[in-house]
Structure 1
């Protein structure tokens, strides 16, 4: 895999960024922001961060540079390089490099870090976030439960970690609400970005009777399209690429978290906190994608149930359970 990195900043700025003391007020300057990603920016999860930061750059709010496909063994070096170059706010995901990333943050207390992590924030400058999109995942499961004819849904994930498990479990619960007879075939490919492997896993499930696939990874919808079964998307809306295959998707919107961090750094009020809740529907951090090409294909009774449940979630009258346990097949 290759890595593209664009680094900027002068030595004087780097010295100021590394010096001790509180973060300065930056309301009159364009914030320097960097992204560090262990996978290509096209990958679903990372693309949400990249898109939100790119939008902020396009508005003129920030100067944005990034490095993609950074190996875990190289992550600490890239973090330090950006901090030394004067980047004032750094986004990324550190699930495989927690200890090293947190050590870097301690060494650069004037740099604000907002990192995808399974653990808690670290004072004074290491915030964490996660894709808490279990609510639209539940709703997309309701759609899937109403669309399967074989009562078998296949689910292909990357790794069985909390960030993946909670979405898959919510999806399964949503499907069972609409269709108590549904069964699940669950598999993990041991990679965040291996479309061919995900595709082969999906083929195996379709061969065993699955007629709806939960596409937690890229490659699954390709298999569904080839075998003429349906798919449910995750994190991004891929229906434009698969108009006859992808019925619905649980969408993640990183904009609320990104905008909150930018505003805090500019105001000089940035502190270590958990940005996870800003991925929930109440903060417009997630949503169920429009049915689009499937608007007339999903049964009206199913759509009515989904609409009712979605409103209950938004009104705080229904809570989607957060279940981080590894989902299991029920075949």
Structure 2
């Protein structure tokens, strides 16, 4: 075999190897060809419609609509099945896998170790794992504080009910921020707090809300689906979380702390395409500074919230965005204060 033939064969073998590697997951430091679509998979333990997962799904569907990625996703994946689904997506050629690792932390991190050429962006309370696992969280305590200010100004009984999923840091910090905001505009407000120990059980959340309303709560913090339904049925008000349901509850939902996953998703996709994805904490990209969260439009309540309260809210919002005020991140479990 001539030297030129050997070189041609080596080039063919090397090209084939790179192609195979790209099929199994983007190689760290190796950018995709211009115009190539990144293969992205989503793995969610809850339905697509659930607040948290819906924000991830929405951001990735938008990237798909722009023609930037090929997107596949699985919903309602049980904790026991999560590792298997992750592995199937990794071996199936998906280059970026997005999901949540909160209840399957060890298994998810093991998969990431087993597939070092695949990128992972997972909701997690833990740290990034080099070289290929980045973490994120819905750090939306800033707009949660603002919605609390509004709630404090809207309650007439000075009693606010709060129904959460699980008392984990990701929920606790939003509740605590909301409570602090409510206290700023109404020092007399008292809180009833309960957790339904489920991420998606609207009937159970609804019953918990009814119990608080029966004890005098006239504003409900709807951390879970079902709470706003209870408020609507009893003619009370509700504050939304993560998503904006004002259109669905025009006479009930006063305000919502809105989470935008787009800044995180778009950053991960861009870095993955450029071969520059590294293990890092995406938490900051959920803050108002990066447009990762915001106070949702008040819609039908635009003119119903007292003007002095909204003036305080707007001033506080400006201070947050200008770096003059920092909402405390308190991950401790919130406690009821109502007698």
TM-score, scaled relative to structure 1: 0.95
Q: Does the CA contact (< 8 Å) of 1:120 and 1:128 recur in 2? A: yes
Shift of residue 23, structure 1, vs aligned partner: 4.5
Asked whether the 8 Å contact 2:26–2:118 carries over to 1, the reply is: no
Q: Could you list the per-position Cα deviations for residues 51-72 of structure 1 after superposition, in whole angstroms to 9, with x for gaps in the alignment? A: 0000000000101000000000
**Of 120, 126, 138, the match for 2:127:** 120
Aligned twin of 2:249: 242
Structure 2: gaps (5+ residues): 1-17
- Equivalent-residue separation in structure 1 for 2:120 and 2:23 (angstroms): 12
Q: Which residue of 2 aligns with 1:261?
A: 268
Q: Distance in 2 between matches of 1:154 and 1:14?
A: 55
User: For residues 236-271 of structure 1, what are the alpha-carbon distances to aligned partners after superposition, in whole Å with 9 as ceiling and x for unaligned?
Assistant: 000000000000000000000000000000001110
| 1:106 maps onto 2:133 in alignment | no
Shift of 1:296: 1.0
Residues 1-331 of structure 1: pairs in structure 2 closer than 5 A:
16=22, 18=24, 22-28=28-34, 29-331=36-338
Per mean C-alpha deviation after superposition, the further-off stretch among 291-300 and 188-197 is 291-300
| CA-CA distance at 1:175 after TM superposition | 0.1
Does the 8 A contact of 2:24 with 2:92 survive in 1? no
Distance, in Å, in 2 between the alignment partners of 1:307 and 1:36 is 37
Given the superposition, is the C-alpha separation of residues 48 and 19 from structure 1 closer, same or farther in structure 2, using an over 3 Å criterion? closer
Alpha-carbon distance in 2 for matches of 1:271, 1:206: 48
Preserved CA contact (<8 Å) 1:27 1:267:
no
Q: Which runs of 5+ in 1 are unaligned?
A: 1-11
Number of residue pairs the alignment of both structures matches: 320
Q: Distance in 2 between matches of 1:46 and 1:24?
A: 30
Kindly indicate whether the alpha-carbon contact (under 8 Å) linking 1:18 and 1:107 is maintained by their aligned counterparts in 2: no
Q: Is the 8 A contact 1:17 1:108 kept in 2?
A: no
Secondary structure of 2:192's aligned partner:
strand
| Contact 1:199 1:220 survives alignment (8 Å) | yes
**Coordinate RMSD, CA, aligned:** 1.3
Query: 1:295: how far off?
Result: 0.9
Say which one has the larger Rg: 2
CA contact (8 A) 1:14 1:86 kept: no
Output the CA distance in 2 between the equivalents of 1:223 and 1:283.
34
Check the 8 A contact 1:129/1:275 in 2, yes or no.
yes
Distance 2:27 2:61 in 1: 29
3-state SS of 2:102 partner: coil
Q: 1:20, CA displacement in angstroms?
A: 9.8
Partner of 2:3: none
Q: Give the conservation status (yes or no) of the 8 Å contact 2:25–2:94.
A: no
Q: Shift of the alpha carbon at 1:14?
A: 6.9
Q: Look up the SS of the partner of 1:184 in the other structure.
A: strand
**Alpha-carbon distance, 1:102 to partner:** 0.4
